[in-house]
């Protein structure tokens, strides 16, 4: 398996696209797969967009899938043109009430009759068309042939302005993936990046309410930049710590409530309200949680937190626009973290590398190779991914109930 987040207009997770890869030599037991998905999914889980990566697996899923509030099934349009059997199976599944998603290009849309079989579409744009849309203004409206369809999902959107156009002008139900590089480039060009205002304020309120250290650590762990700056402050010469502080928990214990509140007040002044950074933060948190699940760090809270930090800080170079080694060198972290995140070595490296490969639609070969090299079962990897997905808070998209 692999996954890709689906982001809604509020920049919250509205669903997860699950990439399902099969081995031609070992047919997938699709009925068993669907049963496991149904068992692990909970009402609070996000919707799953099941994305089979071969027409054979799609055909098998169409034969066994039943209507379920937990999932919709993707149909790649390119496969339909070459198989009348697949076309018939899609039509039969739609008649049984299966929620289907048509995936294809804007320049080859289904006919009206075909579109009636689908709850929604996952559309991608030709690069040249995407460029025209990006440059469109009020004075130069979009050509009629490029007018986007409202209420659909869009993928491979590499521009912040185009993502905003899809979500806010055409009311897209979701963006698959996020234009991280362009968002960070544009925001860094205008100002210094700061932690999330929402997270700083939440932590201040938690301190005022005298909540537990576990709650403080959990809130800090939801914003990699906030966590990083907090550890920099805890180790700063101004505080004069006698020993290096290498974890969020220890930093919270050493600082105390009063110092923490003062520091948060200084952070709140410049905290960011930029909602386009939210998918980037949440993607880092998803990687951190998945890295922790994959390693199975045992009962030690300290070890679990260390593995989590390894995943959380592994994308800081994208946010801070500097080499990751430079970023991590500023903190007295366990050497296991830069070993994994920078050098690809040590006990955390396989889990981090697997978490990174699981983020790609084409990551199946890498995942298999890593599992073989480090004697990790594919079942453990898949269950770790499903645990991450099914435990994530639900932000149900508008197309889920069609």
pLDDT in tens, 261-270: 999 999 999 9
Question: Chain centroid to CA 360: how far?
Answer: 11
Task: State mean pLDDT over 68-83.
Answer: 91
pLDDT of residue 125: 86
pLDDT of residue 135: 67
pLDDT at 281 over 90: yes
Distance CA 7, CA 160 (A): 13
Would residue 386 count as lying in a domain? no
Q: State whether 174 and 223 are in the same domain.
A: no
Q: State whether 55 and 94 are in the same domain.
A: yes
> Residue 81 belongs to a domain with what CATH number?
3.20.20.450
pLDDT at 296 over 90: no
Would residue 379 count as lying in a domain? no
pLDDT at 277 over 70: yes
- DSSP track, 264-295: HHHHHHH-B--GGGHHHHHHHHHHHHHHHHHH
- pLDDT interval class at 138 (50, 70, 90): very low
pLDDT at 35 over 50: yes
Report the DSSP pairing between strands 71-76 and 100-105: parallel
Q: What are 121's strand-pairing partners?
A: 102
Q: Which of 16, 131, 138 is nearest to 391 (CA)?
A: 16
Residue 96 vs residues 72, 113, 211, 400: alpha-carbon distances, Å: 13, 17, 50, 16
- pLDDT interval class at 140 (50, 70, 90): low
Q: Which domain holds residue 114?
A: 2-178
Would residue 370 count as lying in a domain? no
- Residues in CB range of 332: below 8 A, 6 or more apart: 235, 244, 245, 246
N- to C-terminal Cα distance for the chain? 26
The per-residue pLDDT for range 141-197, each reduced to its tens digit, is 666 666 678 899 999 999 998 999 899 888 999 999 999 999 999 888 766 789 999
> What does the mean pLDDT of the chain come to?
89
Question: Domain boundary at 163, 178, 193, which?
Answer: 178
For the ranges 129-133, 292-296, 375-379, the lowest mean pLDDT is seen at 129-133
pLDDT of residue 402: 41
Task: State mean pLDDT over 370-380.
Answer: 94
Q: State whether 131 and 194 are in the same domain.
A: no
């Amino acid at each position: 398996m692999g996954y890709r987040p689906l982001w809604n207009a509020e920049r919250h997770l509205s669903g997860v696209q699950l990439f399902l890869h099969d081995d031609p030599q070992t047919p997938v037991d699709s009925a068993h797969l669907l049963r496991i998905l149904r068992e692990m999914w909970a009402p609070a889980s996000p919707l799953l967009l099941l994305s089979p990566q071969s027409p054979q697996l799609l055909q098998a899923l169409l034969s066994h899938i039943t209507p379920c509030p937990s999932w919709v099934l993707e149909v790649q349009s390119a496969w339909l043109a070459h198989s009348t059997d697949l076309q018939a199976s899609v039509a039969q599944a739609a008649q049984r009430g299966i929620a289907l998603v048509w995936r294809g290009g804007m320049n080859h849309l289904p006919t009206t009759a075909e579109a009636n079989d689908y709850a929604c579409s996952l559309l991608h744009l030709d690069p040249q068309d995407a460029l025209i849309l990006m440059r469109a203004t009020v004075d130069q409206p979009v050509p009629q042939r490029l007018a986007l369809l409202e209420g659909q999902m869009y993928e491979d959107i590499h521009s912040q302005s185009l993502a905003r156009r899809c979500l806010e002008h055409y009311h897209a139900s979701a963006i698959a993936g996020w234009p991280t590089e362009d968002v960070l480039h544009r925001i860094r060009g205008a100002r210094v990046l700061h932690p999330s205002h929402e997270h700083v304020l939440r932590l201040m309120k938690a301190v005022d309410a005298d909540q537990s250290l576990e709650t403080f650590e959990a809130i800090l762990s939801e914003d990699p930049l906030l966590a990083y700056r907090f550890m920099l402050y805890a180790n700063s010469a101004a505080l004069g710590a006698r020993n290096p502080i290498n974890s969020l928990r220890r930093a919270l214990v050493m600082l105390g409530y009063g110092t923490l509140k003062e520091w948060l007040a200084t952070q709140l002044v410049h905290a960011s309200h930029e909602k386009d950074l939210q998918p980037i933060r949440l993607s880092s948190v998803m990687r951190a949680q998945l890295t922790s699940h994959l390693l199975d760090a045992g009962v030690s809270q300290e070890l679990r937190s260390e593995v989590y930090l390894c995943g959380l800080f592994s994308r800081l170079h994208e946010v801070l626009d500097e080499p990751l080694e430079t970023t991590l060198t500023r903190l007295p972290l366990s050497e296991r973290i830069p070993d994994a995140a920078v050098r690809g070595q040590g006990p955390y490296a396989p889990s981090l590398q697997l978490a990174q490969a699981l983020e790609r639609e084409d990551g199946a070969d890498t995942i298999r190779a890593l599992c073989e090299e480090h004697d990790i079962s594919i079942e453990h990897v898949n269950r770790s991914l499903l645990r991450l997905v099914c435990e994530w808070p639900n932000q149900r998209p508008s197309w889920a109930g069609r």
